[in-house]
Amino acid sequence: MFTRVARPECIACGICQLQAPDIFDYDNEGIAYSKLDQNKGQRAIPNELMSQFKQAYQKCPTGAIKRRDVPFHLTK
Binding site for ligand F3S (CB under 6 A): 5, 10-16, 32, 60-62, 64-65
Shortest distance in whole angstroms from residue 66 CB to ligand F3S: 10
Closer by beta carbon to ligand F3S, 21 or else 46: 21
Q: Which amino acid is at 47?
A: N
Closer by beta carbon to ligand F3S, 7 or else 71: 7
How far apart (Å, rounded) are the C-alpha atoms in residues 48 and 57? 15
Shortest distance in whole angstroms from residue 7 CB to ligand F3S: 8
How far apart (Å, rounded) are the C-alpha atoms in residues 14 and 76? 27
How far apart (Å, rounded) are the C-alpha atoms in residues 28 and 76? 28
